[in-house]
Amino acid sequence: MPKHLELECIHCHTRIPLNSSLTGCPNCGENILEARYDFGQLKPKEWVQELKRRRTNLWRYHEVLPIHDPEKVVTLGEGGTPLVKSQALAATLGLKHLYIKDERQGPTGSFKDRQATVAISALRELGVKELVVASTGNVAISYAAYCARVGIKLWAFFPSLTPGEKMRECALYGAEVIKTTGTYDQTKELAARFAKTKGVFLDRGIKSVAAIEAMKTMAYEIAEQLSAEIGDGQQWRAPDWFIQGVSGGMGPIGVGKGFREMLDFGLIDSMPKMGIVQAAGCAPMVEAFERGQRVATPVENPMTIITTLATGNPGRAYELLYDYVQEYGGHFVSASDDEAYNAIRIAARYDGISVEPATGVSFAGLFKLVYRGLIKPDDVVVLNCSGHTLPVEKEILGDQWQRLVDLTDKFRAPVLPEEGLLAAVDQVEHLKRVLIIEDTPEAARLIMRLLKSRHNCDVQIASNGLEGLKMIQQSKPDLVVTDLMMPEVDGFTVIDHVKSNPQTRHIPIVVVTAKELTVRERERLEGMVDMLLQKGSALDDAFVENLVQKLDT
């Protein structure tokens, strides 16, 4: 069937042909445009029967996707992910129908594979050869994989707190990886300026037609799968609630569009409520909703370690989600980082599903919506499991899952302070609060004991980089003592983050490390730290005494 596709301005409803250079409505300037299809030739009952004969992937819904030429489709088998019914966790919550849309099963392990297949296919059809994207991880990884299949060059910009494993995976696919020291919002601005200066196509996120269209395929799959789970297999069914943790809000906006299309098409007879969940340290949507405001006030300095949800300025996305909740029902709720990580453990141990922190936020939000009585026991609830726990499972478990064989006595070595940086500690005046970031408990306790014996100051300990960053933001210590070698967020990333934040860049930093530093690593630390000390394989009193002497004024 020939496909008739146009774009419609969400403000003035002007219809516009699809093309690669279009960035907004030529009539009113609105920058969010939605795809519109002519369903006149598509008969619902016949189409539903036809779908049963197709492969269970995303492109089975090609009639409602913005691609004209099937030969231009770039696919890795995405879509068709399982709808898993929760057992023990649902029973604990008192829910009869809790389902998890398992997007971990995508080719690169997240629901962003949907976005990548549609976006890259559309760009390929439009002749785009080079692309810029800003990402906290999953989008860039998916884009890199799909770009690699068709030879599109990808420039991927990441904020500094993005897990190193995610950036390395992106680079593995051949993308040009650029790490910044700024926030995600600042990184997006840099990527946009880079694309404009270089004359390269920029992925526009929530403003991208292909991205919204891609996300709506989750709605089509859910409605079709629920018809088999709790229906007659013929009439499709929308859930009563759709739950998702959000940063920019693209996922639920696309899902909402999909359900609206199915309602107009006669495939479903109701719309789901939306449970929109944000990390408490970066929750501009939740804060605006609680104030009854349709426009969100941006968060300038996100205070969450869950970087995938650290979009401080949701822009127009919040307005669209707010309007959806006002029309169809739902709620905005936030969850702390600790609540999210606890929810990850609960989901894994109750239902055998290990999820990424963004999904941990979703589960934590679900718990709150149930406890507050907004979600009822008989409601059909679908939660988007947006990605897999890897590579952050070390932060979830901590160090208590393993047994330690102590070889300290076998590997003591003298402390060798780096010349030229020793005088930096003399800059520290009125020392009242010291934060030690050290993942070896014995070393941390030893430094704390000797500092407290020689200084009238409060000493705190963070057992990893993520915890350390949170404590720096909360307590603003007078001095930070940090190791370099820590899992996930290492000392280099801690230093980058502290020095890039105007509120913390003044804090002196002392680095203690057993790592043999490369020339590049030394250059990276130069000008960023006030003191660099090289330690042996284990800390001893001589090393700590040396440090105390340098601090003693």
For the residues of 171-233, what is the DSSP string, one character each?
HHTT-EEEE-SS-HHHHHHHHHHHHHHHT-EE--GGG-HHHHHHHHHHHHHHHHHHHHHHS-S
12 occurs within a structural domain: no
- Please, what is the end-to-end C-alpha distance for the chain in angstroms? 81
The answer to which of 114-118, 279-283, 415-419, 530-534 has the lowest mean pLDDT is: 415-419
pLDDT of 20 higher than 60:
no
Please name the residue ranges forming H helices in 231-334. Answer: 250-265, 284-290, 316-328
Residue 160, pLDDT score:
81
Parent domain of 475: 408-551
Judged against a pLDDT cut of 90, whether residue 236 lies above it is answered with yes
Least reliable range by pLDDT among 11-25, 245-259, 422-436: 422-436
Q: How many CB atoms lie within 10 A of CB 414?
A: 11
Structural domain contains residue 430: yes
Q: DSSP letter at 38? A: -
Q: Is residue 314 part of a domain?
A: no
- Pair type for strands 15-16 and 5-9: antiparallel
Contact 33, 209 (CB under 8 A): yes
The predicted model gives 170-175 an average pLDDT of: 90
Residue with token string 């102590």: 406
State residue 455's pLDDT score: 60
Predicted confidence at residue 2, as pLDDT, reads 46
| Position 421 pLDDT exceeds 50 | no
Residue 400 banded pLDDT, cuts 50, 70, 90: very low
Provide the domain count of the chain.
1
Is 182 part of any domain? no
Global pTM value: 0.70
pLDDT digits (tens, 9 = 90+) for 459-509: 899 989 999 999 999 989 888 888 888 877 888 889 999 998 989 988 988
Alpha-carbon distance 35 to 260, whole Å? 13
Cβ contacts of 384 within 8 Å, gap of 6 or more:
101, 103, 111, 218, 242, 243, 244, 251, 255, 359, 362
Q: What is the pLDDT of residue 5?
A: 73
pLDDT score at 391:
56
252 upstream amide cis, omega within 30 of 0: no
Tell me, what amino acid is at 351?
D
Residue 102 has pLDDT above 60, yes or no: yes
Question: What is the rounded distance in angstroms from the CA atom of residue 238 to the CA atom of residue 266?
Answer: 12
**Residue 108: pLDDT band by 50, 70, 90 thresholds?**
very high
- What pLDDT sits at residue 97? 97
Tens digits of residue pLDDT in 48-82: 889 999 999 999 999 999 888 899 999 999 999 99
Query: Under the phi-then-psi rule, with left for phi > 0, alpha for psi from -120 to 50, and beta for the rest, what region is 137?
Result: left
DSSP state of 154: E
Read off the CATH number of the domain in which 546 is found.
3.40.50.2300
Strand partners of residue 459: 434
Query: What integer pLDDT is reported at residue 548 of this predicted model?
Result: 37
Q: What is the three-state SS of 55-81?
A: CCCHHHHHHHCCCCCHHHCCCCCCCCC
Distance separating alpha carbons of residues 15 and 352, to the nearest angstrom? 47
If residue 118 lies in a helix (H) or strand (E), which one and from where to where?
helix 112-125
Contacts (Cβ under 8 Å, ≥6 apart) of 253: 206, 212, 215, 317, 320, 321, 324
User: What pLDDT is attached to residue 408?
Assistant: 36
Give the number of C-alpha atoms closer than 13 A to the C-alpha of residue 36, restricted to the C-beta side.
Answer: 12
Three-state SS for 404-465 is CCCCHHHCCCCCEECCCCHHHHHHCCCCCEEEEECCCHHHHHHHHHHHHHHCCCEEEEECCH
- Residue 330: pLDDT above 60? yes
Q: Is 243 part of a structural domain of the chain?
A: no
Mean pLDDT lowest among 172-176, 257-261, 484-488: 484-488
Is the pLDDT score of 417 beyond 60? no
